[in-house]
Amino acid sequence: MAVLLWVCVMAFLFLVGNGILSILYRREWKEGEFTAADALALGVTAMIGTAEAAHLCMIFAGVSLEVSTALFGGLSAVLLAVSLASVLGKKRRGGGAAAQSQASLAVTWRLQALCFGALVLAQAVLMQVSGNVYLNGDMTVETVGSFLEENGAYLVNPMTGAPYTGGIPLRLELLCLPTLYSVLCRIFQLTPQAVVWGVVPLVVLPCCYCAFSCVGRCLSGQNKARQFFFLLFTAVLLWAGNYRCGLEGFGLWYCGWRGVSIRSLVLVPYLISACLRRKWKLAVLCVMAEACIVWTFYGAGVCLLAAAGLFVCQLAMGRLKGSQGEEAAE
Amino acid sequence: MTELLKNAWEGWRQLNSGGKLGAVLLAALLFLWLTGKWKEQKALFLYTAVMAVCCIFPVTAAALMLYQTRFYDYEWVWSLVPSTAVAAWACARFVEERPGRSGLSAAALLTGALLLCGGLGYQEFDLSFEGQERQKAEEVLALAMQDVQGERCLWAPRQILACARGWDGSIRLLYGRDMWETSLGAYSYDVYDPALESLYQWMEHTDESGEALWDKGQDQVKLSGEECLRIAVEEGANCILLPGRITQTAAESLAEPFGGQLQTVGDYYLLTL
């Protein structure tokens, strides 16, 4: 069931991500602008959005987890249908996010991709075999367990199983990851530990590399060798940086299910690639997704500040370039 | 504010105590600057450099810590710095310029250097030991819970309580991980009754006779096992695991007033009511 869950989630992310891209950029779609990596990374924001809708219904409308699961399923089905229709329409017109990237793969590039794939696979296998998880300051599994047990959100304190005496901060109550994991547990009949510690980090792993590959494409253009080395060194850095909490590698290896890890590994890299390509609509999706999974300053989190920072830097560099151009002309 | 500044300063020092990936980022920025490669993506370079300085300098780091809310510690402000992407960019550019075999040697050399900078096996936490402890605790829980009927309310040493709710969401606890992991206190406004805190102190510090001394502020409070068990039962505990360091005689005398079943489970005495 865990394998089935992984396959279903990856397929959902890919299809819905493709759908969002073709809806958002229907008019200004250019050949080769988006790839499967874009679709997968963007699919994460779609899944978070769907889960947030189901979660808010539980919190504010007081519906049970059962109803929320049905709602999540329904919304996902609608999203999938719209995405498929949109992607098929795009293909008929001669586009498609993933198709174009397959055509021009040289042998060397394939070998390099194989090498990189082996490295990522080794990471995935090691993550599963070691089974090491970092739980300090985290209570996701307990929260998911209490949601499943009580058939609702935050009806008891996840730490004790007793009703709350003082309540819970509203900003924390709005975060949707526990509901997403509970819904997946319900649908696939898996334990919270299997979903949270087992499957989710394995979903975050490829999505993380997809997000980084989007950054790599911005930094390398059409230079495939540079793209390969960029991804290779990203993998090495994520491997090397697993010694301390707060580092991206640590999040990937030991706590991939946490909101802060998903933010650092998927949302922020993808946001950077979106900002570098000036795809501000995609950046907005990342900002919104972060607000749904991480306790932020009233919705203003790392993604918003990074997007603002990159926007200002682009403006500053544009001005600098402009003034240099003027000086040269003079 | 002083505490925030202190945390920011200490945070940067601690971040570089195990591995040296902070230094790798600075070296990458320097390389991109000196070779002029930063011009390929000026905005990203400028943003990373400014943010890295802001995260290192305590005053700006403290401001960023306020922005990210006090819910998170210093290390999370580094989420603002795309350090992995920029370091990988610099490494890729370094290798790419060396064609053929020298390129491969440079890649191998850089990989080795990065792994060395990354702590090379050093970890701040012994996660595999924690995993083994969790597995042991789950085995004890499985044995302890098999005969308990109806609603189960558990009181046990913290290594058992730490994984009880994750193992089975239907088990109720007198107190949870947030009793000793203070960072978890931010997840709710609930506070523990002092009586429950004394139960925790007794459970963790009891000697072989079932007595414990609790350093409560400047006073030392003597906690008796009988009293603590009485409070625990009044609070609803019907499944109690006593630590194995208590002698058999002391455990039996503690269990006697409650008339429950006392048996040995792993390194613990199990009292079911």
Query: Using one digit for the tens of pLDDT, what is the confidence trace for A248-270?
Result: 888 999 999 999 999 999 999 99
* pLDDT at residue number A320: 60
Interface membership of A148 toward B (CB under 8 Å): yes
Are B232 and B142 in the same domain? Answer: yes
Least confident of A3-17, A307-321, B9-23, B217-231: B9-23
Interface membership of A301 toward B (CB under 8 Å): yes
The distance between the two most distant Cα atoms of chain B, rounded to a whole number of Å, is 82
Average pLDDT across chain A, whole number? 87
B268-272: strand order across its sheet: B172-173, B153-155, B239-243, B268-272, B261-265
CA distance B188 to chain A (A): 4
B90-119 pLDDT per residue, tens: 998 888 887 777 778 888 888 888 888 876
Identify the H or E element spanning B241: strand B239-243
Confirm whether B146 is domain-assigned.
Answer: yes
Cα separation, B43 vs A310, in Å, equals: 6
A274-321 pLDDT per residue, tens: 999 888 999 999 999 999 999 888 878 899 999 999 999 988 887 666
Q: Which chain B residues touch A268 with a CB distance below 8 Å?
A: 79, 82
CB A248 within 8 A of CB B110: no
Query: Phi and psi at residue B247, in whole multiples of 5°?
Result: -70, 160
pLDDT (mean) for B175-189:
87
Whether A313 and B184 lie within 8 Å, measured CB to CB: no
Whether B82 and A226 lie within 8 Å, measured CB to CB: no
Q: Give the pLDDT band (50/70/90) at residue A100.
A: very low
Cα separation, A63 vs A324, in Å, equals: 61
Confirm whether B148 is domain-assigned.
Answer: yes
Confirm whether B122 is domain-assigned.
Answer: no
* pLDDT at residue number A73: 94
Are B138 and B216 in the same domain? Answer: yes
Query: Phi and psi at residue B220, in whole multiples of 5°?
Result: -115, 120
Q: Which chain A residues touch B131 with a CB distance below 8 Å?
A: 130-133
Q: Give the pLDDT band (50/70/90) at residue A101.
A: very low
Q: Which residues pair with B76 in a beta bridge?
A: none
B145 three-class SS: helix
**Cα A106-A112-A118 angle, rounded to 5 deg:** 135
Whether B88 and A216 lie within 8 Å, measured CB to CB: yes
> How many structural domains comprise chain B?
2
Q: Which chain A residues touch B80 with a CB distance below 8 Å?
A: 302, 305-306, 309
Cα separation, B144 vs B148, in Å, equals: 8
B 227-246: CB under 8 A from A: none
Are B212 and B267 in the same domain? Answer: yes
Q: Which of A139, A160, A245 lies at the smallest CB-CB distance from B75?
A: A245
* pLDDT at residue number B120: 66
Interface membership of B10 toward A (CB under 8 Å): no
Are B151 and B262 in the same domain? Answer: yes
Confirm whether B244 is domain-assigned.
Answer: yes
Q: What is the pTM of this model?
A: 0.90
Are B107 and B197 in the same domain? Answer: no
Instruction: State the residue for tokens 């919270």.
Output: A192
Tokens of A46: 């779609």
* pLDDT at residue number B251: 84
Report yes or no for ipTM above 0.90: no
* pLDDT at residue number B186: 82
Residue A195 pLDDT more than 50?
yes
What range defines the domain where residue B167 resides? Answer: 127-272
pLDDT (mean) for A32-59:
91
Tell me the residue length of chain B.
273
Cα separation, B85 vs A310, in Å, equals: 14
* pLDDT at residue number A175: 93
Query: Phi and psi at residue B8, in whole multiples of 5°?
Result: -65, -45
Distances (CA, A) of A265 to A44, A262, B11, B60, B175: 11, 5, 21, 24, 34
Cα B117 off chain centre by:
23
| Interface A:B, Cβ pairs < 8 A | 248
